[in-house]
Structure 1
């Protein structure tokens, strides 16, 4: 027996397909039966799916299918078989992110299809309590390479749906032609059919709301044999559609842009976290369905805080004496890392870098070095560059870094989402992992679960972060709202190197957020290495209780709870490390407010640091239980229990 949904404008089509007596449609429920995906092939011989929450349509009837250069799997399809439902479970440990020990449980069915030529394609559906995921598979074997020219996947939201979307940038636009780098502002609470201001659609994760149901759309398990995708509203289908990168987004001229591979072949998972806002914010689908870790040799992977001179002091701070000061700063703050930014190869030099490595080691601090990803996809002149473009040069550089005692690299200025560029990311991560080097990608794409596959991937920028605030006043003006969006968007699944926290002054910028707002960001934002912007001079001006708090904040978490919030307006997040809870709150709006929060899950007293009524800071004891959190305009707080 199977359950089938026949409703809306497709009633006649579905009845026609059902009347043949063959099984062309089916349904799959989540373990708690709150989510349902209906799927099949309609009377027009096209694959479709539909998603419901509590029997209410969330994603209306939407297209599925792929088009290969040699075969079309978007039409003239027939159902060869639909598998029985089976339970899939996975338990895994994350070294970074919102939770440590994670269990994924879902029900799964596979729709086995054949096209007009008898060629096979499967669509695998997983439904968990927090969402729906599906992927395409070509199960046959080929000796030749196949090419996908189009993906028909669509998300047909109701016209009443509102959306929170970050525009995809125009390739080779921006400073030195560095785009796309996932560094645009979110369009918030806009119609689902809103036009992207840049014209290139929207990146993941994309957030939607209709009634009391929230949906976050993204992708994960992106391997070397597929390009990264994004979304674009299709006026003909009246739905969001998966689209491929722009032609310029390749590793080199003639390199792979769209997907190409021999068979058998699987696409990345298309993932939809679905539920109330708390369910979506706490979802781990982005790593649940990522490829498993390629190694268990991970003792060298140590999350933590890093000092960093460039954020406030810029290029001239990349010198020997200033770096020694920031090593001392990290040591005094009990932070494990210090980042040396662009130009270290000539501003400091190899011999002096070796001295700094030894100096840092004496103080229990490890160094991270900046690199230019190079290639001809941009015109950036910063060095060192050209070190990772070939396997031979990657291996040589990572071995040298490991032998010298360098802990990690920050690699900047990538060039897009084409398959060849995605393969470059994988090549770097594999080689760095082999030599036990931590990796931070900047000017980069969304990681899409790579931090599970490669535990040495600590973070990635892919956001309009602090450096932009330090450049332009209009960015600083928009920062509080932007920050209040990120836990529900960009930072939902993947680590984000926003490089937060200015407690004192930003040269030539009037910071809009309060100091307590800034103090909240390192525990609100998820990043395996959290590079903090504040410099020693600014830290020296803060009260002891603020400094001591910052000496003991984790960069990886055992558990996360959303306590209150609304995208772009405010957020209160609880994160646990061991037996200690950190409660973080920020107000993204220019008005005072209070939010009700429930701290009943906490069993002992703690303290709060917040904006003072008359002074800059205020600290006092706080008790567990139901309470009210008060915010100044653009204000914030941290609690620790």
Structure 2
């Protein structure tokens, strides 16, 4: 603590200390003795970030050094109310105190820093006013943690590595509870969200407010001394012939740099990742239907993308009271337009919408799966959207994107804007992190950007690692954005020995948040479960209204409660190799008693019972889990 105190005392007189509405969070912004813009963050009087850099460098101006404070705006209250079609809350009120700091460099050029402090964290972004071209070169924003802080981070895969040169796709395993300053094993750095524990507080770092004009960022691989800095995408992460970094005519505004801060419960219940995204574009509400989907590819692969199997999966979805079936890669060659139209028509009679897979790729990877290279231009997209709508398809799953460069971000946004106009739901795979897009584009039901269940069907090593991986995801990847992990298998996985118990798999159906939850289990596997399990899965809500974090530790175990209407679903899983006793504070449920489904004696068995409020006690089996439903 002496080191922290001396570090803070070294910061010169403050430009201003901005506090959150509840007064717990304080952000201090100043120009230091080296004429650099810096900030510190405290919560409840305890340091969270030590003195950390701020600033930008453009080809047309240096806002990193030689700065002086030109003006400071009055503090104002920022309020927004918005709804999410698919998110951890359906109705959200965002309240923050906002202040802007204008600095001038030695050439008399001005940079505006806007800071918002809310009860669950802070956000900041830069604006460079004026006419003329502005080419991004470097960002100085850093996050300096005390030496004793810990980190939970996912390495960023190097561009053009992996299957058919598809990386980066945000599909690596997390390094858990590591010392801050540990270098990334990848030269590409670390992905967002990045999770840290700083004293009594937790910090989740991400970015939001991506409008297609700016590149997506990551943390640099080197964080010597516990100082994490913004990194840039690889020069190869671009749309063919497109640009890498932000390059605009007129004013330049960066995305928001977002830090959820507080006790773990505060961070886990935070909505800052969508609070800082742009408001929703128009979309036909009659077509905006979250829910669940059957999906053959997870366990049956390409050979199952044929008419008879897909028709059987439509019947399966109807039997489970789900509302979609996803027809994956090679449908154009193995089924064809006429039979897809027949499938869509058949699904409509059953109340099931059809979703169709597309390959996004141009020449940025070597993936052979089709339909391929059909969405590259506006004319291409108009033609394909008209084609699938004529078949009766409700939405698309678009796969194999090319990274985080500004031109690739623009490609995502073009797809989102034009599919919204066409009334088609969207799902991106082999993709970047959503960064709040599900608010701006409510028809974006889900995105992958995760080492999902499919990897556990490829190798036993991935299967064995999935228990801790799944216990990590609610704290990081799925913290703010919908995640298409494609969970839940109760039966066999070909050539793989499952590492999870059935209760663990069932818990994922509630713990993992996705606008359309694509379940991996087949009709044959589902036929092995008791009627009470099928009954629960038939009645799962199609969207959630509220979330509560009840207990957990990243990578070890997690228990969440989700509300839909007047019903609460409490779910948890245990990644440990030994049983875990948990006692849950359920006083907010009153004296209600919940229907409990958990593991039976064997790994493929279930048992049922009751979980009573206000003090719920249960033992989670090794690699096991549970779901409790309170009506």
**TM-score when normalising by structure 1:** 0.96
Alignment check: 8 A CA contact 2:11 2:51 kept: no
Alignment check: 8 A CA contact 1:565 1:572 kept: yes
State the distance in 2 between where 1:582 and 1:248 align: 44
Q: CA deviation at 1:280?
A: 0.4
Which residue does the alignment assign to 1:3?
none
Q: CA deviation at 1:69?
A: 0.3
Q: CA deviation at 1:233?
A: 5.0
1:211 aligns to 2:211 (yes or no): no
The alpha-carbon distance between structure 1 residues 158 and 543, as it changes in their structure 2 partners (threshold 3 A), is same
Q: CA deviation at 1:572?
A: 0.5
Q: After superposition, where does 1:459-538 map in structure 2 within 5 Å? A: 459-538=446-525
State the distance in 2 between where 1:438 and 1:262 align: 32
1:377-412 C-alpha deviation (Å, 9 max, x unpaired): 100010001111001111121122223321110000
Aligned with 1:622 (options 611, 615, 624): 611
Structure 2 residue runs of 5 or longer lacking an equivalent are none
Alignment check: 8 A CA contact 1:439 1:456 kept: yes
Aligned with 1:199 (options 187, 206, 219): 187
Alignment check: 8 A CA contact 1:440 1:458 kept: yes
What is the total number of aligned residue pairs between the two structures?
625
1:91-113 C-alpha deviation (Å, 9 max, x unpaired): 10101011000000110110011
1:97 aligns to 2:87 (yes or no): yes
The alpha-carbon distance between structure 1 residues 353 and 41, as it changes in their structure 2 partners (threshold 3 A), is same
Aligned with 1:251 (options 232, 239, 242): 239
Q: After superposition, where does 1:275-286 map in structure 2 within 5 Å? A: 275-286=262-273
Which residue does the alignment assign to 2:127?
137
DSSP-derived class of the 1:159 partner: coil
State the distance in 2 between where 1:621 and 1:261 align: 59
Which residue does the alignment assign to 2:307?
320
**TM-score when normalising by structure 2:** 0.97
Alignment check: 8 A CA contact 2:156 2:188 kept: yes
Aligned with 1:72 (options 62, 66, 69): 62
DSSP-derived class of the 2:285 partner: coil
State the distance in 2 between where 1:484 and 1:101 align: 27
State the distance in 1 between where 2:431 and 2:222 align: 26
State the distance in 2 between where 1:10 and 1:637 align: 46
Q: CA deviation at 1:257?
A: 0.4
State the distance in 2 between where 1:457 and 1:259 align: 24
Alignment check: 8 A CA contact 1:575 1:581 kept: yes
1:497-522 C-alpha deviation (Å, 9 max, x unpaired): 00000011111111111001101101
Which residue does the alignment assign to 1:114?
104
Deviates more, 1:91-100 or 1:193-202: 193-202
1:35 aligns to 2:20 (yes or no): no
1:358 aligns to 2:336 (yes or no): no
State the distance in 2 between where 1:166 and 1:225 align: 25
Q: CA deviation at 1:224?
A: 1.2
Aligned with 2:620 (options 616, 623, 631): 631
Which residue does the alignment assign to 1:59?
49
Which residue does the alignment assign to 1:640?
629
Q: CA deviation at 1:145?
A: 2.4
Q: CA deviation at 1:235?
A: 5.1
Which residue does the alignment assign to 1:341?
328
Which residue does the alignment assign to 2:430?
443
State the distance in 2 between where 1:555 and 1:114 align: 51
Deviates more, 1:399-408 or 1:204-213: 399-408
State the distance in 2 between where 1:563 and 1:324 align: 41
1:189-210 C-alpha deviation (Å, 9 max, x unpaired): 0011111112221000000002
State the distance in 2 between where 1:147 and 1:123 align: 18
State the distance in 2 between where 1:52 and 1:622 align: 39
1:42-81 C-alpha deviation (Å, 9 max, x unpaired): 1211101100011111000000000000110101111110
DSSP-derived class of the 1:471 partner: coil
Alignment check: 8 A CA contact 1:40 1:111 kept: no
Which residue does the alignment assign to 1:188?
176
1:405-441 C-alpha deviation (Å, 9 max, x unpaired): 2111000000100000000000000111001100000
1:583 aligns to 2:581 (yes or no): no
Q: CA deviation at 1:10?
A: 6.4
State the distance in 1 between where 2:6 and 2:115 align: 22
Deviates more, 1:491-500 or 1:400-409: 400-409
1:536-584 C-alpha deviation (Å, 9 max, x unpaired): 0011111100111110112421000010000000000000000010011
DSSP-derived class of the 2:615 partner: strand
Alignment check: 8 A CA contact 1:463 1:496 kept: yes
Alignment check: 8 A CA contact 1:178 1:414 kept: yes
DSSP-derived class of the 1:630 partner: strand
State the distance in 2 between where 1:78 and 1:207 align: 33
Which residue does the alignment assign to 1:159?
147
State the distance in 2 between where 1:334 and 1:637 align: 21
Q: CA deviation at 1:37?
A: 0.1
The alpha-carbon distance between structure 1 residues 70 and 601, as it changes in their structure 2 partners (threshold 3 A), is same
The alpha-carbon distance between structure 1 residues 7 and 587, as it changes in their structure 2 partners (threshold 3 A), is closer
DSSP-derived class of the 2:550 partner: strand
Alignment check: 8 A CA contact 2:283 2:421 kept: no
The alpha-carbon distance between structure 1 residues 10 and 566, as it changes in their structure 2 partners (threshold 3 A), is closer
Q: CA deviation at 1:363?
A: 0.7
